[in-house]
Structure 1
């Protein structure tokens, strides 16, 4: 009996050993952290929106737009209170022929006119390469122009002067500025801004995206009471449309 007990005991022992050896070890899968989206605010809006959009809203201290512009394109001042500004969302056709959603800040007095203007330009399939807040370019007008960014509000002075630009009041808009540069003389020297737009300063040449008198862009802005910078007598601001205070 003892011999049988020993044999049975050894058999049980080997069964246990083989069972333990066959038990699978838990797998340690590598945790992959979700990557942050590199898409811009406006690209995310494009994904959500169905059809063209032309909307406006107030800018409130502490909201997402205020946080983007505060201390950059917007600075505390006596001339332009925050309450006078409106944030616009605008559908437009890009240089790629696709529909994009842009953004712009203008004065509340002209906000509805601006929306109507861009709705007409949208219907005409007028191409605008990009339309972002100038704050995406550090509120630097030169950087914004070099990127061919269509924009409006930016609290700043006119180049080579101490006078506030109409952009400071949200009453001026620059359209495709790289192809429609600002040309002026100062101290006997001719300036072209942005410098990268020098080859587009000669308006006798034909090239795409050029704003001209009586083209659709000029006609639509004029219809709503805006003046074109290409008609200025002492300088030529081909990208620029403005409407002064009544």
Structure 2
């Protein structure tokens, strides 16, 4: 388990492709109200923002270990969170970007599910399923406009469930969101990310979309997790969790 070298690389260490990604507009009005998807994002395939070195030989690789102090410091964990750092694990996994190249991402998950989550992403790698980016969520992102500027595949986020006061399964490290822009959350007029309204049409079959019976659902079902895309209201198309919430 090679954690020390990975932990030394922070989000600040990004590739030159980051500068090439244009910023998305801030929401013009109410939180979560669906906005028209900009034409250049109707088929969103932006470059991956690398924070870790890619797998050396192009084959799937993963690591599981304690959460390094510097990673914990840039995460959303705080003392009032419902899980302690000792019960979390830092996981790195290889994934395919929309450029077709292999990349390495990072997640924080509950210790008891870490190996299973790594195995699920191994299945996605073998299936060639594309992911835009995968990195630990930082505190300032919790209050950022929900436009969809970060199409981040992530796990642990210390926050309440959307629209509720109870802790989210993400705050326990027991949930993963995959490509939220291509797979938006919706409840009535509420759409998150706001600019992903074009992806409410699930018949478009674009890369990065999660479909029932597809490789992402199969990978997480294999480890006993449930898919929010089967919920009636809200429909959380990017969300997988062990608890089903």
* TM score, norm. by length of structure 1: 0.73
| Aligned twin of 2:92 | 89
Task: Return closer, same or farther for 1:57/1:127 CA change in 2, 3 Å cut-off.
Answer: same
Give the match's secondary structure for 2:176. Answer: strand
1:100 to 75, 99, 103: 103
* 1:134–1:140 contact (8 Å) kept in structure 2: no
Task: Return closer, same or farther for 1:97/1:78 CA change in 2, 3 Å cut-off.
Answer: closer
CA distance in 1, matches of 2:166, 2:123: 32
RMSD over aligned CA atoms reads 2.4
| Aligned twin of 1:235 | 234
| Aligned twin of 1:133 | 136
* 2:30 counterpart of 1:56: no
| Aligned twin of 1:68 | 74
* 1:55–1:88 contact (8 Å) kept in structure 2: yes
User: Once the 2 structures are TM-superposed, how far is the Cα of residue 50 of structure 1 from its aligned partner?
Assistant: 4.5
* 1:142–1:193 contact (8 Å) kept in structure 2: no
Q: Which has the higher contact order (CA 8 A, sep 6+)?
A: 2
Task: Return closer, same or farther for 1:53/1:67 CA change in 2, 3 Å cut-off.
Answer: same
Structure 1, residues 31-90: CA drift from partner, whole Å, max 9, x if none? Answer: xxxxxxx73398474168455320011125xx2212222xxx111126211111111111
Runs of at least 4 residues off by over 6 Å: none
* 2:54–2:102 contact (8 Å) kept in structure 1: no
* 2:180 counterpart of 1:177: yes
Figure out how many residues of one structure are paired with residues of the other and give that number: 199
Query: Which of 230-239 and 44-53 deviates more?
Result: 44-53
Give the match's secondary structure for 1:146. Answer: coil
Structure 2: gaps of 5 or more residues: 1-11, 16-48
* TM score, norm. by length of structure 2: 0.74
Structure 1: gaps of 5 or more residues: 1-37
Higher helix residue share: 1
* 1:74–1:154 contact (8 Å) kept in structure 2: yes
User: Once the 2 structures are TM-superposed, how far is the Cα of residue 238 of structure 1 from its aligned partner?
Assistant: 0.3
